[in-house]
Each structure stands twice: as C-alpha cells, then as structure tokens.
Structure 1
Amino acid sequence: MLMYLSNKPYPAYKDSGVEWLGKVPEHWKVRRLKNWLGINRRVLPEDTDPEYTFQYVDIGSVSTGRLTETPKRLRFGNTPSRARRIVAHGDTIVSTVRTYLKAVWYADNLQEPLIASTGFAVLTPDKNTLPKFVSYICESNPFTDLVTSESVGIAYPAIAETRLGTFSVCIPPLPEQAAIARFLDHTTQRVQHHIHAKQKLIKLLEEQKQVITHQAVTGQINVQTGQPYPAYKNSGVEWLGDVPEHWEMRRNGWLFSERSETGYGSLPILEVSLHKGVGIRDMEAGERKQQMSERDRYKRAKKRDIAYNTMRMWQGAVGVVPADGLVSPAYVVLKPIDRIESDYYGHLFRTDAYKRVVKNYSRGIVSDRDRLYWDEFKRIMSVVPPTGEQTAITRFLGHTNHRISKHHTAVKREIDLLHEYRTRLIADVVTGKLDVREAAAHLPESAPPALAATCQDGTELADPGQNPYP
C-alpha cells in the first residue's frame, strides 16, 4: 500500500473552527450539512396506491459502505409506517437510529428509486457537489464517530435530523472532489481485491481441514504413512463406503452409554459451540443468578465425555468435554467405553458426512428444529479403528489443524489490517490530511488486478492443496 505513503499533506492549512475537523486545507470551505445538501427531501405520501410496489431498505440491511441484505420487494398496503424515505441514484443514506451500527450506504446504479426506513437520513447532493464525495465523507470514521457521540439514548441511541444537519464538514472545489473520489474508488477497490483473495483463501483452508479430517477418520488415508491402507472392505454403510479391512463397524449404543446424572450444582456450566466444541460458559452476573436456581436440573458431564446439543447436533454442535461440568437438560452426554478415544469421535461427529447422517436420524415438527435424542443416536453406525490408530489419528489431526489454524489466523489478521487501512485512508483523504490530486491524475484507467494472499511477514501462504501427510 505504498500509494498511501507517497501522498503528502497540502501546502497550507487553516483552522476549521470545528473540533472534529481540526486544521483543513486553506482553500477548502467549511459548511453545515443542511446548507450543503438536501436532507430527506422526498417521502412517499400517505395516499400512495396500496398496490404500489417498491424495494425497501431497513436499518438491519446496511453496514458501513455496503448492503448486507438484498432490498425486499414490498407492497405499499402491507408496509410498515417507517417505509417512507425515497432514495434516488446518487443519494447517501445515514442511519439516525442505532447509530452505533454506523450504517452508511451510497445508492449507485439504481434501476428504480428505493424506499428506505425513516431510521435513515437521505442526503441528496446539489448539482455543484459530487455525490460519491458525499458518501466518502459520511462513511469516514470521524464522521460516523461524531454521529454516534451526538446520539441520545442508551439501548436505542438516535440522532435527530435537525441535529445531523448542524454538523460541519470541509468541502474542496468540485474538481478536487472528483480527484478524491477517483483516488478512493481506485484504492479501496484495490484493497477489496486483497480482502477478497484472502477470504477465498480462508474458505479453502476450511475446506482443506474438512477434507483431511474426513480422510483420516474414515480410513481413506493412513495418517502414519500418508498412503491408503493395504486392504479395504465394504462397511455396509452407504455414507461411509469402504473402510480398512481391520476396522470394525458398531452402532453407537455399543460405543457409548448415556450419562444422565443430576445434583452436582457446584460444577461450572458448560456449553457446546458449533465452531469450538465444548467449553466453560462465561456468564454475566444476572444470567449466573438465573442459572444457579436451575443447576439441580443440569446434567453432569465428566472430562473426556462427549456432549451434544440435541437440536443442533446435525449442524456440528458436539465436542469433547474438557473438564467436569454441567450441561443443559437439552444436551445428551455420552460416556465412552474403555477402548474409545473421545477426541477421535469428536472429529468424526463433526465431519460433513456424519452431520448428514445425524440429520436423517433427527426428528422434529419442522426441519430446522430437528432433535437427535439418545434413542436415535445409539442406532447410528460408526466406524471403530483399533485404539492405537484412534490415538494416532487424533494426534495427526491436532497437529494438522494447528497448522491450518495458524494460517487462518495470519490471513484473518491481514484482513483486519486491510480494513483498518481502508478506514484510515478514507478519513485522512476526506478531511484533507493527505493531498491525493497528483496521485489521482496518474491513476490507470483499468481496474487494479487481484493480488496473491500473503502472510504478515510478506511470504506467500502455503497452498491449501498441498499434501499434509508425512
């Protein structure tokens, strides 16, 4: 991101007289929003035809600089009373309720006007103002922080349209607005190329982790050699296919018994996460008081047991218990028999293939509320490698997953840094801390290419498709 470093401050500055702006370029003007832009100029009248349809944007569907959900097509006769603000091409919408969300979005390339919630202020630029420049000001961190700090209310902070209109901003001449918008368009697009490449890499790393886990726990690969086993047999289970010849198949009822013990109220509360397995629950004071009164109903789970959430087992809400504790009555606690390595089955139960099997055995009124109780779980067939191989597979996956997690963390940190860079750059450019006029004049016409993902130290991340086996 050397483009940021190559830009210098303007040659001369003046005091803006506005605390959040500080010093601004000498030739820029300082004006209040209401004197520079139109605010909420157009609204849907109450006598609109009830059959009139439109696309609607609510507070929850907007983040800083982007839509998080596709606008919904609604009919006026069925819409909430807050669906009234008309948004046209070139407008910028700024949330005036729940302002901590920093929901700001530039309406570009609209095929038809949108209708936004009255929880937004719709800013409409005049002919001597570049619409995209307005959006960058409103998206900048100093501006959104100002909106948040001036909001009233704790649980549902909001700012009045009239108060928003009194905010002062610094405005460069129109040609300079165009140069700033062009520079930021180009640079933020380049940043987004970096972010997109790294997000794709994270997805590939997650897919690699799933593939390696599936190959290891189902015996497709011998983790000690990195090669298939010498001989296989038909498992008799459709989802599993062939397994190593010396591995066994057993119903879960032969591998585990159900632990249903209550009355251990002094133990910590445990919870099952889709992503992290079983862990000790960190509770707020009020929640802790409520849980204390219910502890006698909670089930004991002992270290090395396996616990799962009956309603979310099919999504992977299962894991090995790290320490003695209590789980919700809605959980099932599995006590392994002597020759069972809990961590091996913790990996097996979280594979995509096993989750599909669990889904078929789960029961409920609607599919997304299906539950897997002990009576169904114990009927499911599972593979049983020799105990020594279970241990070897567990160790291998622990090492491999640690390596993948390190890559994942490095890429995630890179994404965070890129977001921080983008935020800082927009703020410095729209408030005149950096002069980008020369840089904008020398930008290429074509879009910047996507760049390879790298670690923080600049080295290229390992290919997620490389062979992980010894």
Structure 2
Amino acid sequence: MSFLKYPAYKDSGVEWLGMFPIHWTVTLLKRGYEVVLGKMLQPDSKNEDDEFLPYLRAANIQSAGVDARDVRAMWFSPSEKKSLRLLKGDLLVSEGGDVGRSALWDSDQECYFQNAINRIRSLGSNSTRYLFYWMVSIKKSGYIDVVCNKSTIAHFTAEKVAATPTPFPPPAEQVKIAQFLNHESAKIDTLIEEQQRLIELLKEKRQAVISHAVTKGLDPNVPMKDSGVEWLGKMPAHWAVSKLKFMTDRVVDCPHETPVYDPDGDYLVIRTADLDQGVLKPEGMYRLQHGEYLNRTRRSSLIKNDVVYGREGERWGHAALVPESDLFALGQRMMQFRVGAHVCPEFFMYQLNSVPVYRQGEVDTVGATAPHVNISTIVNYQMMVPPLTEQLQMSLHLSKALHVLDSLIAESIGMAELLRERRSALISAAVTGKIDVRSWQARAAPQTENQTEAALG
C-alpha cells in the first residue's frame, strides 16, 4: 500500500520532530488537552460521605487496551468523585512502571483512577483517539524514556505529559487519521495473531514429537507392554522404567543465595528464564566475575553435556544441555544432573522436557501461587530407559526433527516482529504527517460466496 504526501511542509520548530504539514500546528499537549493525575491510595474512609468505589491502576493499562478483570476499590470523597470519574473517550497514560503506556477508556461504567495514571481529556474538539496514537508513536521512539530519565525510577508526571510537544492537525483530520490507524492496525494485528497461533501450534507439535519419541520409540511396529506407570502408559516391550535418581551419577541443587552479578564478568549464570525446552539462550544470561563463579560452583561445576533443569517459577520443568565446560554456573531455582554411562545426556534432557515427566512434577504445583517442585519428587520421576543405542538414535532423530520445527517457529516470530515494526512505522508516519490519509476510505469487505450468489440472483 502506498500513500501520498502532503503538498507542503514546514519546520516544526522541534528538532526531533522535523517537518510537518504546513497547515498543522505543533505546540504543547496542554494547549489542546487537560491532564490530571489520579488519587493517592486511600484504604480507609475519612468522612461519613466517602464512598468505596472502583479505580484503575497502572497494571490495568495494557497495550491492547484497559484490562478491567482486576479492578480494585478505595474511598473517594464527593469532590473526588466529581473530578476523577472517568468518561468514555478519556485517554489513560501510565505515570510509573512502564511509563507512557496508554489506553483509551471505552466504557460508560463508573470508575476512577489512582495516582499511577494520568487522565487526558480533550479541550474542545481535539481527538483523544488521535492522541493515543501520538503517545504510542513517541513511546516507541524513546522520547518518553528520555524525558523520564528511565535509568532511574521513571515517572511520566502530569507536568511532563502536559509539556509534550504535540502535532495538532485540524480536528476533522485528527478523526480521519485515527480512523485510518484503527482500520490498518486491526488488519496488521489480525496477521500478528495468525502468526502467534501458528507459533503455538508449532510448539505443540514440537512437544508432541518429543513426548512420542521418548515414550514410544521410533519403530511403530515394535511390541508394546504396559509400563505400570499411569503417566507413561504403554511402552516398547524391551524398554525398562527407572527412577531418575538411578539414571544419574550426580544430582545437585543450586546454592540458595542470590549471585552477585557483574555485567563485565567472564562467566554465565543459568536461570529458569534462560531455558526453553532443550534450548539454552546465552544471549540474555547474567554474568559473574571469577570469584563469584568459584563460590557458585564450590559444590559442583557444570561440564559439557550436564543437564540443567528449572524446578521453580513460571518456567519450571524446562531442561537443557550445558554446551561447554567451566563457563556456566547454576542460578537460583536450578538443578544439575550428570547422567550415568548407560544414559545418553540428550535423551535424558528430551525426556525431562516431555509431557509425561512434566505431569509428574505438576502434582507439587497444584494450587501453588509460585510453582515449586520438590527435589524429592524430581529424583523419583519415573523415566523410560531404552537400550543406549536406541537412546542415541532417538536423540539424533529429535535433533533433526526439532531443527525443522524451530526454524519454522523462528520464521513466524520474525514475521510477527516485522508486522509490529510495520504497524509502528505506519502509526508514526500518520501522526507526523509523513503520509496524507485525508482521502482514505476503508475498502469494502469481500463478499462471501453466499453473498455473491445472492447478488447474482
């Protein structure tokens, strides 16, 4: 899709904004909008006429809109009710946390807002939906991080919001730009959602490939027998079942103290966040200096082909192989396994990442606020033990099969990211006047087969 430019431009007078359409005005946000900071938390009533009412926090302001599933309540005085009630069309901007994250309040329900949120309301006929896209654009550009000095505790105060340089097209043009961006963003979001669904399907396929291989083997005609373990079901007749502890020569839990990190260190700490079903992601790992590395490895050092396993947190149950010796240390919530001579490390790792083994650990996590699997449960996981030659064959098979799936997943992730960048670029171009959408019209939806038949009579 290509767009025309405006016939004439002028200098905005703001260095980082550059040129704007000649008929637009660039001035401070407060010239066209009212900015109000919300109320400080008040858990107790101060006067008999106070009312206990719902309010929004910064956590309710999400990039996809206002998340009203967890709305809390506090006390408001009659004057606060009048001044802090949200009206449909108000723009809400996070004051703290993820500063500058914005969403429109699109409801007639009675609700108010805490002092972690700035409410922006139009003065006159300016569009808050257009301003929403302007906020999205300057957040993406890094402007908000700069004015909030995000290297410290960032706050996008009402004063900073009000002083934000803002382009003001004529009101009717603001509405047109917002309509255009609503339409085009929705189309791009649909494509992103399709990629996300594809990614999830590929991950499910990946999991199924692992689980089938490590529990049923590669030969579909092999005689089967009951494993005697509910979680495992039937298995090849010549396989054995063993507890995890009998497949390993070494089981080590992490030191129960937070490491002292150093971004200039030469050693890497493996945390649960660094694991993804057999894949170790060193690019995001924290680092240690030599002294702290020795402290973390005094009980056991990690060597090539050791298996690391997360036993706590949202990403518990993920395992991966250590790629080289004398470089990595266990982070919090991690365990180390060194398998026996009768076990292939890759096969052991794949089995830890399988659904039947995961379900055995789930027993400890049911109802827990923070998932945590006990070591006593882990060492007694029931595991399949094929002959070593078959373990090696399955590991090679899985390596090849997962490489294909991982390539497809990476391709879809890359496509989704390109679509997000496309959406950001389109928003920026529209709200800065780089493209002229005044004559834009939404294309009619394509007719369905039935509609076409009806039209043809």
TM-fit CA distance, 1:68? 6.2
- Distance in 2 between residues matched to 1:268 and 1:350, nearest whole Å: 26
2:356 matched residue in structure 1: 353
User: Aligned match of 1:19 in 15, 18, 24?
Assistant: 15
Cα 1:432–1:306 shift into 2, 3 Å: closer
Identity of aligned residues (%): 22
1:167 matched residue in structure 2: 164
| Matched position secondary structure for 2:112 | strand
Work out whether residues 252 and 379 of structure 1, in 8 Å CA contact, stay in contact via their aligned partners in 2: yes
TM-fit CA distance, 1:63? 4.2
- Distance in 2 between residues matched to 1:43 and 1:355, nearest whole Å: 45
1:254 matched residue in structure 2: 246
In the alignment, residue 339 of structure 2 is paired with which amino acid?
Answer: P
Unpaired runs of 5+ residues, structure 1, are 450-470
Work out whether residues 179 and 437 of structure 1, in 8 Å CA contact, stay in contact via their aligned partners in 2: yes
1:112 aligns with 2:104: no
Work out whether residues 259 and 301 of structure 1, in 8 Å CA contact, stay in contact via their aligned partners in 2: no
Task: Note the alpha carbon deviations across 1:318-376, whole angstroms, 9 max, x for none.
Answer: 3333333444697544332222111111111111221111333x599957454432x54
Task: Note the alpha carbon deviations across 1:33-83, whole angstroms, 9 max, x for none.
Answer: 21211111886997585552214222x443446346744232338xxx9xx
Cα 1:331–1:186 shift into 2, 3 Å: closer
1:455 matched residue in structure 2: none
2:319 matched residue in structure 1: 318
1:409 aligns with 2:405: no
User: Aligned match of 1:372 in 356, 374, 378?
Assistant: 374
1:396 aligns with 2:393: no
User: Aligned match of 1:102 in 95, 100, 103?
Assistant: 100
TM-fit CA distance, 1:237? 1.1
TM-fit CA distance, 1:383? 1.4
RMSD of the alignment, in Å? 3.6
The 5 A counterparts of 1:53-452 are: 53-58=53-58, 60-64=59-63, 66-67=65-66, 70-76=69-75, 85-98=84-97, 101-108=99-106, 110-141=107-138, 145-152=142-149, 154-219=151-216, 222=218, 228-258=220-250, 271=270, 273=272, 274-275=275-276, 276=278, 288=289, 291-292=292-293, 294-295=295-296, 297-311=298-312, 315-325=316-326, 326-327=329-330, 331-360=334-363, 362=364, 368=370, 370-373=372-375, 375-439=376-440, 442-444=441-443, 446=445
Cα 1:392–1:48 shift into 2, 3 Å: farther
- Distance in 1 between residues matched to 2:433 and 2:250, nearest whole Å: 66
Work out whether residues 127 and 175 of structure 2, in 8 Å CA contact, stay in contact via their aligned partners in 1: yes
TM-fit CA distance, 1:279? 7.1
| Matched position secondary structure for 2:194 | helix
Cα 1:199–1:142 shift into 2, 3 Å: closer
TM-fit CA distance, 1:378? 4.2
- Distance in 2 between residues matched to 1:260 and 1:52, nearest whole Å: 52
1:458 matched residue in structure 2: none
Cα 1:230–1:200 shift into 2, 3 Å: same
Work out whether residues 270 and 278 of structure 1, in 8 Å CA contact, stay in contact via their aligned partners in 2: no
- Distance in 2 between residues matched to 1:436 and 1:448, nearest whole Å: 25
In the alignment, residue 212 of structure 2 is paired with which amino acid?
Answer: Q
Cα 1:125–1:364 shift into 2, 3 Å: closer
Work out whether residues 37 and 117 of structure 2, in 8 Å CA contact, stay in contact via their aligned partners in 1: no
| Matched position secondary structure for 1:299 | coil
- Distance in 2 between residues matched to 1:288 and 1:49, nearest whole Å: 60
| Matched position secondary structure for 2:27 | strand
Task: Note the alpha carbon deviations across 1:378-417, whole angstroms, 9 max, x for none.
Answer: 4332211121211111111111111111111111111111
- Distance in 2 between residues matched to 1:381 and 1:251, nearest whole Å: 5
- Distance in 2 between residues matched to 1:428 and 1:448, nearest whole Å: 31
Work out whether residues 272 and 278 of structure 1, in 8 Å CA contact, stay in contact via their aligned partners in 2: no
- Distance in 1 between residues matched to 2:15 and 2:124, nearest whole Å: 28
TM-fit CA distance, 1:313? 11
- Distance in 1 between residues matched to 2:291 and 2:374, nearest whole Å: 27
| Matched position secondary structure for 2:166 | strand
Work out whether residues 141 and 423 of structure 1, in 8 Å CA contact, stay in contact via their aligned partners in 2: no
Task: Note the alpha carbon deviations across 1:2-44, whole angstroms, 9 max, x for none.
Answer: 2xx2x11111222232323322222223332212111118869
Unpaired runs of 5+ residues, structure 2, are 255-265, 449-457
Task: Note the alpha carbon deviations across 1:110-138, whole angstroms, 9 max, x for none.
Answer: 13243333233211013422331121222
Work out whether residues 106 and 135 of structure 1, in 8 Å CA contact, stay in contact via their aligned partners in 2: yes
Work out whether residues 226 and 235 of structure 2, in 8 Å CA contact, stay in contact via their aligned partners in 1: yes
Cα 1:364–1:189 shift into 2, 3 Å: closer
| Matched position secondary structure for 1:315 | coil
Cα 1:95–1:218 shift into 2, 3 Å: same
1:32 aligns with 2:28: yes
| Matched position secondary structure for 2:383 | strand
In the alignment, residue 13 of structure 1 is paired with which amino acid?
Answer: Y
TM-fit CA distance, 1:191? 0.4
TM-fit CA distance, 1:232? 1.0
Count of matched residue pairs = 423
Cα 1:183–1:161 shift into 2, 3 Å: same
Work out whether residues 137 and 143 of structure 1, in 8 Å CA contact, stay in contact via their aligned partners in 2: no
- Distance in 1 between residues matched to 2:178 and 2:49, nearest whole Å: 39
Work out whether residues 63 and 101 of structure 1, in 8 Å CA contact, stay in contact via their aligned partners in 2: no
- Distance in 2 between residues matched to 1:177 and 1:446, nearest whole Å: 24
